[in-house]
Amino acid sequence: MKVFKVSYTVQAAFVQKNQENIQAFFKDLQKINDPDLRYHVYRGSDGKTFYHFSEYNSDAAQKRLLELSSFRLFQQQRDQHLEAEPVIEQIEFVEATYAIF
């Protein structure tokens, strides 16, 4: 399993649009309904820093997300409104109170 954490800060005026773009690619992910892909997004207390956590049980699942047109649009628009560049970390799963896959 691969797990990634991506954090970034957008301009305050772009927060609402960023959330709409996230919702758009989430709708597409729900349609795909890939059992090898889990994705969570949180917003920090400053209201404009976002934390994305993605979990992949296969390389194919990761590829499906990265090739999704709504996800690419989200990334493109986000990158035009950043206050702080995205920080991408591959992290290691340790434990959960529920089954991941």
Domain ranges for the chain, please list them.
2-91
Convert the pLDDT of each residue in 77-89 to its tens digit: 999 999 989 999 9
pTM: 0.92
CA angle 21, 26, 27 (to 5 degrees): 100
Residue 81 carries which DSSP code?
A: T
| Helical packing angle, 69-79 and 59-67, nearest 10° | 60
Q: How far apart are CA 48 and CA 8, in angstroms?
A: 8
Convert the pLDDT of each residue in 13-22 to its tens digit: 999 999 999 9
| Fold annotation for 2-91 | Alpha-Beta Plaits (3.30.70)
